[in-house]
Amino acid sequence: MSMDIRTIAEEFGTPLYLYDFDFIVERYTSLKEAFAGQKSLINYAVKANSNLSVIAHLARMGAGADCVSIGEVRRALDAGVEKYKIIFSGVGKRDDEIIEALENDILLINLESEAEMKRVEKIAKELAKEARISIRVNPNIDPQTHPYISTGLHENKFGVDIDMAKWMYVYAKKSEFLNPVGIHFHIGSQLTKLEPIAEACGIVADLTRSLRAIGIEIKFFDVGGGLGVVYDDEATISTQEYAEVIIKATKGLDVTFVCEPGRYMVANAGFFITKVLYEKKSGNKRFVIVDGAMNDLIRPSLYGAYHKIETVEKEGEESLADVVGPVCESGDFLGKNVMLPPLEHNDLLIVHSVGAYGFSMASNYNTRSKPAEVAIEKEKVRLIRKRESYEDQVRLEKVCMEWSDES
């Protein structure tokens, strides 16, 4: 990707999210081709980056959507994702969300508990509809990743164990209003080792075989997402190796493979552009204060996540600095102990690998407006989300300010 960061920053302002749409095409193509010769569905995990233009870009390539709220289901439909490629997941679904999902006739609803299954059954009965379902199985495999993004252990809130899953599938098979068509697992995010994936696949494939033996026809084998990406110097898994272990574990099963990549698809496609306001020294400590903050990009504060930070067209003798924002919190930083040259007002910094869980986790803390989002595709730059204004922030509050005082 060739781009003039300074020109883009001058046109759209800072702080700013910038996405390389050509890179997203490469990622989707790599994963789809890894399953060549197999039935497969690549369902983009909308939570990673829910911008409508990002979802639409993937939909045009044939991607489906993995959604964890009815809002994400609506986004997927609005962006042009085919309804039969949408999965609705998540541990807590309200009745109105279940109703809307069933009425939209999406591919399936992914269940995470016995209580949820019976709730879906009751609602489907009231609507006189059959609910296509899958069940999220917890294989109790250590994904060897950050504990906050581990999801496949008994101590995590997600899914059900093998014995409960078997019971739920038998129950669903007997139900007039449930149709168990899929099986699902997801052991965690930012996976950089094949062994946990292979082990989990083997456990869930064996369960699928036992279900097939009693007449429960599982059609969709959903391996979740979680493929790791490079933030610093991580050794990652190739899509070919990833597909091979899944295909090997499921040998003999005639299923459609479903993958739910989010971070893998968009993380390294994203850049956060922020402007230097001042430099500050406190004793021997150097701070570079920028106009971007933890409300714009919370991963460093929330997870202690590392993002490469570099200057734009600025050189000089480098020294350690903390890159911090204007938010009134000690935890407001984008990077610590970053080697940077001397910086002046209006110099630009670029923060790398922020396409996933960057803007989607942004907030209005400190009444700060969310940044603009911009896409670059085939060397053309276009705005895909306007910068939020103060009026955008308070609109829903202002309509509630007027009332008649009858006391």
The residues assigned a catalytic role are 328
The answer to whether residues 261 and 254 touch, using CB atoms and an 8 Å cutoff, is: no
**d(C-alpha 126, C-alpha 19), whole Å:** 44
Closest to 270 measured CA to CA, from 45, 24, 14: 24
For residue 302, which amino acid is it? L
The answer to whether residues 34 and 257 touch, using CB atoms and an 8 Å cutoff, is: no
Q: Is residue 15 reached through a cis peptide bond, with omega within 30 degrees of 0 on the bond before it?
A: yes
How many residues belong to the chain?
407
Contacting residues for 323 by C-beta, under 8 A, at least 6 apart: 288, 290, 309, 333, 334, 335, 336, 338, 340, 349
Q: Across-strand partners of 279? A: 288
**d(C-alpha 341, C-alpha 350), whole Å:** 14
Please name the residue that has the structure tokens 């603009």.
372
The answer to whether residues 200 and 185 touch, using CB atoms and an 8 Å cutoff, is: yes
The answer to whether residues 311 and 343 touch, using CB atoms and an 8 Å cutoff, is: yes
For residue 178, which amino acid is it? L
Residue 47 exposure: Cα atoms within 13 Å on the Cβ side = 14
**d(C-alpha 136, C-alpha 130), whole Å:** 19
**d(C-alpha 230, C-alpha 353), whole Å:** 8
The answer to whether residues 277 and 15 touch, using CB atoms and an 8 Å cutoff, is: no
Helix (H) or strand (E) holding 182: strand 178-184
Closest to 14 measured CA to CA, from 22, 5, 3: 5
**d(C-alpha 184, C-alpha 178), whole Å:** 16
- Between CA 70 and CA 233, with CA 305 as vertex, the angle to 5 degrees is 115
Tokens of 208: 């699928």
Rg (CA), the chain: 23
